[in-house]
Amino acid sequence: MTLKLGVIGTGAIGQEHIRRCSQVLQGAKVVAVSDINLNGAAQAVKRLGLDAEVLPDGKQVIKASNVDALIITSWDPTHEEFVLAAIAAGKPVFCEKPLAVTAAGCKRIVDAEIAYGRRLVQVGFMRPYDQGYRALKKVIDSGEIGQPLMLHCAHRNPNVDEGYTTDMAITNTMIHELGVLRWLLNDDYVSAQVIFPRATAHTHAKLRDPQIVLLETVKGARIDVEVFVNCQYGYDIQTEVVGENGIASLPEPSSVLLRSGAKRSHTILTDWKDRFIDAYDVELQDFINGVIHGELTGPSAWDGYAASVAADACVAAQKTPGLVSISLPPRPAFYER
């Protein structure tokens, strides 16, 4: 069976996902796309050599009779509406992170999916598919470093544009840590605090950058995450887990050790596209396989919701000195694995 995909949003990651579904992965092809920038969508179809229809509206892609499943890669605030429409149409949907920009929005999706009665949603949290994170989890789960006590993390982007605001450091960027760390630790969050160091001169009017987010988990681990989205020097993702008996760190992406010009050096990547290129392939292949076999097992709407409950608290903590508590309701049986 070849799964026929509709893609909503043909910007940066939309084009990346179309390319991988069409040229790298097995079992799917893209048959319809849409973007509010229709001309951009048409150009993407041409550039990628697709035999796909360009439809004027995302809802038409969802309803199209030849579309079996959806990939949503439009801007964050549009996700909720498209995912709800996909569930209403009974079509599986891979939605890029965040599932919705608020926990309330994610909850509406969780409720709709439970009412539908079968999992239809996979969230684009790709880090659990990354070899490095998988290796790190294996070490933690082996017990070799004992119980995780403290985590030191950094999420650094070279720069962001003028439209990027202080809350997006959480809802658009740190949402990845909020997603992957609960998976890594098999834990959830109970409180958040945000500290603003001196701001970089490379930021702009609507963005306080960098930020340090402090989290506490149900099991009592403490996590600090530096979110620095104008760090200039590269795209750099760090996670160090301090346990009772040792320390485990996320592996660096492999690169040649270069001796040249009286220096020893490694290249640092500059783009998420390259840093997680294999993880994106594996997550989307998992989605395609899951749809074909009738069972989605990747990051769920509940995972998207749990991350957004914490994200809401972090955004509130940006405006509050001190701790903001995080309260996640018990996971419904529907989402037990």
Q: Which of 272, 280, 287, 302 binds ligand ISE (CB under 6 A)?
A: 272
Residue closest to 24 by CA, chosen among 279, 297, 299, 332? 279
Q: Which two tokens stand for residue 72?
A: 């949503």
Task: Rank residues 86 and 227 by Cβ distance to ligand ISE and give the closer one.
Answer: 227
Task: Rank residues 122 and 173 by Cβ distance to ligand ISE and give the closer one.
Answer: 173
Task: Rank residues 34 and 285 by Cβ distance to ligand NAI and give the closer one.
Answer: 34
Q: Least Å distance between CB 24 and ligand ISE?
A: 19
Residues for the chain: how many in total?
Answer: 337
Q: Least Å distance between CB 219 and ligand ISE?
A: 27
Q: x/- contact string, 146-175, with ligand ISE (CB under 6 A)?
A: -----------x--------------xx--
Dihedral sign from CA coordinates of 19, 25, 26, 27:
negative
Q: Which of 34, 203, 300, 308 binds ligand NAI (CB under 6 A)?
A: 34
Q: Does 86 participate in binding ligand NAI (rule CB under 6 A)?
A: no
Q: How far apart are CA 156 and CA 230, in angstroms?
A: 7
DSSP 173-234: IIHHHHHHHHHHHT--EEEEEEE--SPPTT--TT----EEEEEEETT--EEEEEEETT-SS-
Q: Which two tokens stand for residue 9?
A: 């949003």
Q: x/- contact string, 153-192, with ligand NAI (CB under 6 A)?
A: -------------------x--------------------
The enclosing H or E element of 124 equals: strand 121-124
Q: What is the largest CA-CA distance in the chain?
A: 64
Q: Least Å distance between CB 86 and ligand ISE?
A: 20
Q: Which partner in ligand NAI, ligand ISE, none is near 247 (CB below 5 to 8 A by kind)?
A: none
Q: Least Å distance between CB 44 and ligand ISE?
A: 18
Q: Which of 3, 5, 8, 123 binds ligand NAI (CB under 6 A)?
A: 8
Task: Rank residues 37 and 320 by Cβ distance to ligand NAI and give the closer one.
Answer: 37
Binders of ligand ISE among residues 203 to 242 (CB under 6 A) are: 229
**CA 276 to each of CA 13, 123, 129, 140, 271: distance values in angstroms, whole numbers, following the listed order:** 12, 16, 9, 21, 9
Residue carrying the six token digits 């990027």: 164
Strand partners, 195: 212
Contact residues for ligand ISE (CB under 6 A)? 157, 172-173, 176, 229, 272
Contact residues for ligand NAI (CB under 6 A)? 8-14, 34-37, 40, 58, 73-76, 78, 96-97, 124, 126, 172, 272
